[in-house]
Every structure is written in C-alpha cells, then in structure tokens.
A and B are shown apart, each in its own frame.
Chain A
C-alpha cells in the first residue's frame, strides 16, 4: 500500500516538473510552429543559475531566484529570437540547425563557466522538513512542486483565455494569416511568446533544481522529455501539456518500478502508439 502511495506522489511531482519544463515548449510550438530544440538548454541555464546563485548567497529565496532566472533566460531567448530566428520563418531545417547549435553553445558555456561537477540546488529552508503522511515520510518540496505546476497552469490559462494578449496568441495559433490580416502584430507576438516560453523554462529549471541538480548533460536529458509530453498531450493545447505531463509522470514512475527491464523504452512505446493512431496527440488541435 505504501509503495503505491509513495510512487503515486512521485508521479505527481515528476508530472509537475515536466509541466514546468514543457509548457514553454508547447506554447512556442503552438504559435510559431517552431520546435525549439534549445528548450532543454534554457531549462538547464535556470538550474545552473539557481545552483550558483543560491550557493553564493546563503538563504536566497528560491521564488526570487526563479523569477530572476526567468527574466534572464527570457531576455536571452528574446535576443536569440530577434537576431536569429526571425530570419528563418520559412526555413524549418534552418530552425533545427540553429536551435541545436544554440544549445551546444549554451551547454559548452555552462561547462566552461561552472565545470563538469554536479552542483546541487539547496532545497528551501522552510521546506526541508519532510511531510509525514499515513506513517511514512515524503519530501515536502516535491509536493510544493506539484502546487507550482498547478499555479503555473492556472496563470497560463488566465493569460491565454482572459487577456487580450492571450486572445491574440490563440488567434495566431489557430490561423496565422488571418490574424495578420486583422492587424495582429504577429512578428512581435512571436518574440513575446518565445520570451515567455524561454522564461518559463528558466524558472522551471530553478524550481526543478532541488530534485535534479545542475550537471552537464541536463539539457540533453530534459529535451526528449519535453518533446514526448508535447507530442503525447497534443500541440497547441495547454491542457494537453498539463495532462500529458502527469500521464508521463505516472507511466515513467510506475513503469520503471514495476518493469525495470523496460526502463529505457517505457516512455517511448506509449508515445509511438499515440502518434501512430492519433497523430495530433490527445488534446491537440493542430496536425503538423
């Protein structure tokens, strides 16, 4: 019984982490039809930022760090989008090359600046005491992470459904050319959305830090997960990214615990099934 509860909570916290990672990716792909392969590197930058900042300044608040990382990575993303990606609107292969190239640059820069060791991100002081539930212990921070994911989801929902900016984004996702025709500044919107997506990734990196730690290769480990969640959940759908994250969280946690032989492939088989039989994903509105 204890096994099921603990693994269930693990699944939820992993799902929360995955949502923070992949919501930005989903947003960017939904609007810009751009598979941002730099996304893992943006996330990793957030984690390194947290690791370095919180170890240098004892007692630095993780929420402040997340905000800070979000802003910095968003700015970096915005620069990248304006200077490089705008020129590649009709060149999807060029986009692949450039986003992967940028991820090489970022990951090598992290290696150069902070070395090859794994640097931990300290768990916030007031969340270090574990929670006691039903006679066993579970790290409090992981539960908080689920809360963060929910808060982020709600915030994004409000942004997309209840603000003018959100309406413009949704219009752009549904029909880019019509949106332009009615006067929506799609090009500026692209930059804003890319910044937003990158910023969420950066902040997500900070929040995921206490669980993941900053290490070289974090970007390459995280990017396939973001891709899987978005494909499974459906492109262009925030709900899809949310539900997809938790589905993947459950499949991964229970799959590796119950079928260790399939550990390597446990994530890919469901994804292959979904794409093969429902190419737009579970909740997607766009067939690429």
Chain B
C-alpha cells in the first residue's frame, strides 16, 4: 500500500508538535515535588569535581529519602561539560524545560559568569559554589548566594598564619594562569605582605602545560612556595617539584583546592606535612561532619573534599531555608530571603551570608597527616567567621579593581 504523501507529512508534523507540547504539559502538571537542578561538569577537564558534586548531593537527598521540610524533592543533574555555552544551555534546560525551583552550582567561574545574567533575569534562587570573586562583590545578584569561598577568602588566613606563626619571610606563588589562580595569589600576596612578608616571585602556568619541569626549574629559592592550583595541574606540578628535590629546600603551602582530598587520595607519603587552607576538611570535628564524612567514605571508598562538601552543604542550606518557608517554593522572594537569613549548622560549621550573598564561615588551616593508613587533612587551626573582605574595609575593597594577574601590584619581585 502506498502511503499517501499528504498523510505522511500530516502525521509527521502532527506527531512532532504533539510530542513537544505534550512534554510541556506533563511538566506543568507535576507541581507536587520541589525540583532542584544541579549544574555540574561531569565530562571534560573538570569532571573529577563534577562527579563528586553529583554523588554528594544525591547522597544528601537519599539520606532524607528525597524529602525536605515535608515535601518531595526531585533532583535533575545537568552536565555542563566545563564549557560556558553548554552551561548556559543546560541552565535554560533546567529552568525552561524542567521548571526547577532552585539551582545548585555551577563550579567553574566562567560557567557561573556565563549564566549570571540569565539566572538574575529569571529570578532563579541559586546556591553557587564557584569561587569567582566578583559574583558577590562588584556584580552581586539578589538571587545568588555563594556557600563555599571566594578565591581569596581562604588564602588570607593562611597568609597571616604563614607570616606570623610559621615566620616565613619570602614566598613564591604558583598558580594556573586564569582568574581563579590570579585572584587567590593576589589575596595571599596582599595579606602576606601586610603581615611583613614578601612575595618574591609569581608564576602562572598556562592551562595546557604538558610538562612542569621547566617551571620547577624557574622557582627561586624562598622559605615556601604557595600553590594556588586546582585539580590535576597542581598535583602534577607538586610531583615534579618533589622529584627535583625542591621539597627538601622549601616548604609547601597551598590554597583550598591544591591538596584537596580528591588529590590526596592519589598521593603518597611525599604529601606529608604540607599545610593548606580551606573552608572544609573531611577531618572536621563537628557533629554533622562526624556523620557525613564516614558515611561518604563508606559509600564511595574515598574521603569527601571541596567538591563533595560544596553540594552537601548546599543541600543543608536548602533544607534549612525550606524549613523556614515550611516547604513552600512558589514564593521565590520568600525562599531567597530564607536562604539569605539562614544561620545553618552544616558540615563546615555554622555559616551565614553577608549582604552580597557571600558566606561568612570558618576557615581551617590543615596539615597533611596519616590517619588509619590514609592521607588526611588534619585541622591545625580554625579562623572563625571569615568574610570575603578579611580585615579590609568593605567600601575601600570594592572601589579597588578586582584581583587579577597584576593587581595588587607585586612590589617585591626578585629579578
């Protein structure tokens, strides 16, 4: 039987239209659960962090049987692949197709910046975990809070500790050559030099560096080297640093992602004794973390680090906010206000948010130790209630340009 042309075209067009509109209606009916979207890079170079973010948040919800404040919660995970254009499309998908009530993530600064205006336009409550400074400084949005830390927020306490307690006088900084690295090293430099130290060299390595040997050979002799790195690059640099025998000559200190638990799990004894700073450690001794960290380790066979903690934390804050609004999400302003005002107890301690949406919480100086045969970040000192402005005056801080490769200018560089 020959299919009539008209029937064929008609059926095809009708079917496609029906599918598209039908899907819309299906989602419109499902207004009983709260829908939360997670933007995480599950493929691409940032995959390690993205995968942990997904695992921790899923675990958080599973522990509560997918019910927060008496309402069912549905989690939709979107893979941004670490590309800003994809991040934007995925944010659109979550908001327009999945009709989420709140978004958690994304991780990378450029992902967050690519969608910032869109999220503000759609008035979507966002629990951000990216470290980009300006998201809560010169370009804040009433719909965005950041629960982890700005790039420099954790570096300030370590800089003071290094200058005052470790008595380091000269430090070399090394980081990846992008905004996160620039901002973190700038913050460290500022606080370190304010406390009497000198930054004698700032190295920024290009993002796609196959071999760190040539950079290791450039490091000048100093009391310590500060690693403002993230993910695999920092770890690879550190390995080369140790192989060239430099660890015997200089101490190693690092920022919040340099020796994260996700990096430590693949290292050996060479990491022992390295001091880093972060807003979290799997060894934190508060009641909530004493339950979370062992449970995570039991399920996934490794310690939770920055990335896993960031989304678990987001879950805790969301739960606290939902408890305040009694499970209501329809009033977005109320939800956002509840998020802003929650003084939640979390796995990182008690946190609250400043007027720009940035977290005020504890920062911990950690030392790499062995516990139970595995490498852990033991807490050596806690700095309570650290804000993104440290000890600096807020207005003056905001009038300065954002931290970058050349700001604040490094005046003590040795030639």
Direct A–B contact in the complex, CB atoms closer than 8 angstroms: yes
Q: Is A272 an interface residue (CB 8 A)?
A: no
Nearest first, the 10 A-B pairs at minimum CB distance are A116-B48, A118-B232, A116-B47, A137-B245, A139-B243, A253-B214, A215-B232, A10-B213, A6-B217, A217-B45
Judging by beta carbons under 8 Å apart, are A117 and B217 in contact? no
Contact of A119 among B50, B231, B266 (CB under 8 A): B266
Given A10-B214, A139-B244, answer yes or no on A264-B43 (Cβ-Cβ < 8 Å): no
In the bound complex, residues from chain B placing their C-beta under 8 Å from that of A254 are 214
Please list 19 pairs of residues, one from A and one from B, whose beta carbons are closer than 8 Å in the complex, sorted by A's number: A6-B217, A7-B217, A10-B211, A13-B211, A14-B210, A116-B47, A116-B51, A117-B48, A118-B235, A122-B268, A141-B243, A213-B236, A215-B45, A216-B44, A217-B44, A225-B210, A253-B213, A254-B214, A257-B214
Q: Is A88 an interface residue (CB 8 A)?
A: no
Report if A80 contacts B (CB, 8 A): no
Asked whether A118 and B211 contact (CB < 8 A) given A7-B217, A10-B217, the answer is no
For window 148-204 of B, CB contacts with A under 8 Å fall at 177, 203-204
> Among the listed B45, B245, B265, which residue makes an inter-chain contact with A130, where contact means beta carbons less than 8 Å apart?
B245
Nearest-neighbour CB distance to chain B for A196, whole angstroms, equals 24
Which parts of B67-101 form the interface with A (CB within 8 Å)? none
How many Cβ-Cβ contacts under 8 Å join chain A to chain B?
101
B residues 120-168 touching A (CB-CB < 8 Å)? none
Flag if A213 contacts B243 (CB, 8 Å): no
- B215: CB under 8 A from chain A? yes
| Contact residues, B208-224 vs A (CB, 8 A) | 208, 210-211, 213-215, 217-218
Digitize A126-143: 1 where CB-to-B-CB distance is under 8 Å, 0 elsewhere: 000010000001110110
A185 within 8 A of B: no
B239 and A120: CB pair below 8 A? yes
Q: A120-B267, A264-B206 are in contact. List 17 more A-B contacts (CB 8 A).
A: A10-B213, A108-B43, A115-B47, A115-B51, A116-B48, A116-B49, A118-B48, A118-B231, A118-B232, A118-B235, A119-B266, A130-B244, A142-B213, A212-B236, A254-B214, A256-B206, A257-B218
A2 nearest CB neighbor, chain B only:
B217
B262 lies within 8 A of chain A by Cβ: yes
A221 to B214, CA, bound (A): 17
In whole angstroms, how far apart are the Cα atoms of A138 and B245 in the complex? 8
Binding site for B on A (CB under 8 A): 3, 6-7, 10-11, 13-14, 17, 108, 111, 115-120, 122-123, 130, 137-139, 141-142, 211-213, 215-217, 221-222, 225, 252-254, 256-257, 260, 263-264
- Return the chain A residue nearest B45 by Cβ: A217
Is B337 part of the contact surface with A, judged by Cβ < 8 Å?
no
Cβ proximity bits B24-46 to A, threshold 8 Å, 1 near / 0 not: 00000000000000000001111
* A212 touching B210, Cβ below 8 Å: yes
Q: Which residues of B contact A263 (CB under 8 A)?
A: 177, 205-206
Q: Contact at B208–A221, with CB atoms within 8 Å? A: yes
Contact of B266 among A7, A118, A137 (CB under 8 A): A118
Identify the closest chain A residue to B270 (Cβ).
Answer: A120
B338-385 residues at the A interface, CB under 8 angstroms: none
Contact of B240 with A by CB under 8 A: yes
